[in-house]
């Protein structure tokens, strides 16, 4: 029997899953890679409220951690915890803004999510 394990985190805006893929079809998808640029696309653009999904097709564990998580004065808007090989992390939607993030396991891995209120903005750059 296949089981999907979902762990809700940070005010319920994100989840990590391993096992069979969930069919949520978010507008923005980002892949975790073992080589540069590490997150593909390195900068992704989406509209506010649109789910964003990071997939880990690599044989290595990774994280998707909002850079402000390391700063006490700023809110930590998303932190996936460990995303296992074949797993994914979903943020159900964020307000407009720029969200730099990194892998807590591999600090060289960095990406940026740009969220806009402009509905004509393409979903990925």
Q: Hey, where are the domains in the chain?
A: 5-19+26-116
pLDDT-derived band at 90 (thresholds 50, 70, 90) equals very high
5-19+26-116 homologous superfamily:
Cupredoxins -  blue copper proteins (2.60.40.420)
Residue-wise pLDDT tens digits, 91-112: 988 999 999 999 999 999 999 9
d(CA 45, CA 120): 11
Picking from 94, 98, 123, 93, the residue whose alpha carbon sits closest to that of residue 111 is: 98
d(CA 56, CA 53): 10
d(CA 81, CA 73): 21
Q: What percent of the chain has pLDDT over 70?
A: 72
- Output the pTM of the full model: 0.74
Residue-wise pLDDT tens digits, 37-48: 999 999 999 999
């Amino acid at each position: 029997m296949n089981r999907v394990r979902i762990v809700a985190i940070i005010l319920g805006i994100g989840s990590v899953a391993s096992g069979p893929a969930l069919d949520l079809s978010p507008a923005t998808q980002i892949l975790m890679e073992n080589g540069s640029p590490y997150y593909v696309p390195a900068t992704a653009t989406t509209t506010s409220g649109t789910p964003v999904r990071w997939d880990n097709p690599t044989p290595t564990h990774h994280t998707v951690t909002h850079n402000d998580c390391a700063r006490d004065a700023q809110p930590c808007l998303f932190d996936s915890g460990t995303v296992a090989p074949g797993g994914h992390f979903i943020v159900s939607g964020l307000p407009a803004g720029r969200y730099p993030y990194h892998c807590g396991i591999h600090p060289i891995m960095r990406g940026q999510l740009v969220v806009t209120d402009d509905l004509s903005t393409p979903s990925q750059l």
